[in-house]
Amino acid sequence: MNPITGFPEFAIPIAFLLGIYGLFVVFYIIWSFFNIYHLMRFGVAGFFLTTLVTVYAIGSLVLLGASGLSLLRYDWSTPFSVTAILQGPSPESLFDL
């Protein structure tokens, strides 16, 4: 029981944020396939369209790969305290000089 808030201590593993990131990646992949389909179906076929789709696909793979590799170094089992976030700063420390 936290003496300041009166609520019990509550901690969530950081892997919860990884799940939110995973949902974002899935949404981005679905959105990308939607966009590429419409570019290929309704775009003017030619060198520029092929180049645009290729650059978009390679750029997306590079960005998703780089973000995935940068996330590998974190310990995702570490919990963070939700109670500490919800209680906010104490009034004494707001204007601490």
- What residue ranges do the domains of the chain occupy? 14-75
d(CA 43, CA 59): 20
Supply the pTM of this predicted model. 0.69
Helices then strands, counting H and E runs in the chain, come out as 4, 2
Specify the pLDDT at position 70: 92
Residues 30-81 pLDDT 10s? 999 999 999 989 988 899 999 999 999 999 999 999 999 998 888 888 887 7
What confidence tens digit (pLDDT) does each residue in 3-29 have?
A: 665 666 777 888 888 899 999 999 999
Residue 88 φ/ψ region, left for φ over 0, alpha for ψ in the -120 to 50 degree band, beta for the rest? left
Q: In the block, which residue shows the tokens 């570019």?
A: 39
pLDDT at 57: 94
- Please tell me the predicted confidence (pLDDT) of residue 31: 96
Average pLDDT of 79-90? 68
